[in-house]
């Protein structure tokens, strides 16, 4: 008598969906609790309105900004510099990191330089970027690209150098060389390292972008925060509303990269273990 196989995949799917719903409910509960605590501290007087506006006044200012064109123009300028800097810095890091990872001699020669530049605070080169480009979009994405390149290049190098030697030997036996070898063997093996590096770099790029706007005066969300701060206590709700916008941008971008990583690397064991 043939015994039917148990429906384990269905059970696993249901369990996964339940965990996702519970996780979303828990995050929403924590968010509502934080907002309630914010409003409670403001109502009790522990947070003075002239320094820290209440949650309701900040959300009211955010709603007012959402109905105008200034906020959306600031978000557009911030995302433009973020995307350009991440694309340039990330692309260069993947190419150069892959080349250095494939050559032991090149790796030993270049890694001290990369480690040195990685330790330089990116904000330290902001005056140089301002002198060269002024408070422009170019200044912002050059700063972002510089900050993103070094840590991501190291991540790519480690990913390429961690490839299983058996895979490289098999490719050599099958005469898979050049660009085909990079696309078929090297890139898929290093993809989890690259994906993690890109996800972290996306958050770093947004931080650098907003800091460049705050200190360097480039147009965007950071400049609106600075403008509201300089306008006095009456504009503080607007300032905090733009801070919330910056935080929401970070959450959306990080979530988008995490989702893309799960979709693109669904075949990798690290993603299967999270399903």
The CATH number of whichever domain residue 123 belongs to comes to 1.10.3720.10
Q: Is 144 within a domain?
A: yes
52 φ, ψ (degrees, to nearest 5):
-140, 95
Q: Is 137 within a domain?
A: yes
Q: Is 197 within a domain?
A: yes
Q: Is 111 within a domain?
A: yes
pLDDT along the chain (275 residues), means of 10: 51 55 74 79 75 84 89 93 93 90 85 86 86 86 91 88 74 72 76 87 90 86 90 88 92 87 70 53
pLDDT at 236: 87
Give dist(CA 36, CA 11) in Å, integer.
37
Give dist(CA 272, CA 197) in Å, integer.
19
pLDDT at 11: 47
pLDDT at 52: 80
Q: Is 185 within a domain?
A: yes
Instruction: Tell me which residue of 35, 83, 30, 81 sits closest to 62, measured CA to CA.
Output: 35
Q: Is 73 within a domain?
A: yes
pLDDT at 245: 93
Give dist(CA 108, CA 182) in Å, integer.
21
pLDDT at 126: 86
Q: What is the DSSP string of 40-84?
A: HHHHHTSS-TTTS--HHHHHHHHHHHHTSHHHHHHHHHHHHHHHH
Give dist(CA 143, CA 94) in Å, integer.
18
Q: Is 42 within a domain?
A: no
pLDDT at 181: 74
With beta carbons less than 8 A apart as the criterion, state whether 249 and 75 touch. Answer: yes
pLDDT at 30: 82
pLDDT at 273: 52
Give me the helices (H) in the chain, please.
Answer: 8-44, 55-66, 69-102, 104-118, 126-133, 137-161, 165-173, 178-181, 187-216, 221-230, 236-264, 269-272
Q: CB-hemisphere CA count at 13 Å for 111?
A: 15
- Write out the residue range of the structural domain in which residue 82 sits: 67-272
Q: How many domains does the chain have?
A: 1
Instruction: Tell me which residue of 217, 252, 73 sits closest to 140, measured CA to CA.
Output: 217
Instruction: Tell me which residue of 236, 244, 176, 218 sits closest to 47, measured CA to CA.
Output: 236
Q: Is 56 within a domain?
A: no
Residue 217 neighbours by CB distance under 10 Å: 17
DSSP state of 4: P
For 37, 95, 127, 162, 202, the CA distances from 83, given in Å and listed in that order, are 35, 18, 22, 29, 9
pLDDT at 17: 63
């Amino acid at each position: 008598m043939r015994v039917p196989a148990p429906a384990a995949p269905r059970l696993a799917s249901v369990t996964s969906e339940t965990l996702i719903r519970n996780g979303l409910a828990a995050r929403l509960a924590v968010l509502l609790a934080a907002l309630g605590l914010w409003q409670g501290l403001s109502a009790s007087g522990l947070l003075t309105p002239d320094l820290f506006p209440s949650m309701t006044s900040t959300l009211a200012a955010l709603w007012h900004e959402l109905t105008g064109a200034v906020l959306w123009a600031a978000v557009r300028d911030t995302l433009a510099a973020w995307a350009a800097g991440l694309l340039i810095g990330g692309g260069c890091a993947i190419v150069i990191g892959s080349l250095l990872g494939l050559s032991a001699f090149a790796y030993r020669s270049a890694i001290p330089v990369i480690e040195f530049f990685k330790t330089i605070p990116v904000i330290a080169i902001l005056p140089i970027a301002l002198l060269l480009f002024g408070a422009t979009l170019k200044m912002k994405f050059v700063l972002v690209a510089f900050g993103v390149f070094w840590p991501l290049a190291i991540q790519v190098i480690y990913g390429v150098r961690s490839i299983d030697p058996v895979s490289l030997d098999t490719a050599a036996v099958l005469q898979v060389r050049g660009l085909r070898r990079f696309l078929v063997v090297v890139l898929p093996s290093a993809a989890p390292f690259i994906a993690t590096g890109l996800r972290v770099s996306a958050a770093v790029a947004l931080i650098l972008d907003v800091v460049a706007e705050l200190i360097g005066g480039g147009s965007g969300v950071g400049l609106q925060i600075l403008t509201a701060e300089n306008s006095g206590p009456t504009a503080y709700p607007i300032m905090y509303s733009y801070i919330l916008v910056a935080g929401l941008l970070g959450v959306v971008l990080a979530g988008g990269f995490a989702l893309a990583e799960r979709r693109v690397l669904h075949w990798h064991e690290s993603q299967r273990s999270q399903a």
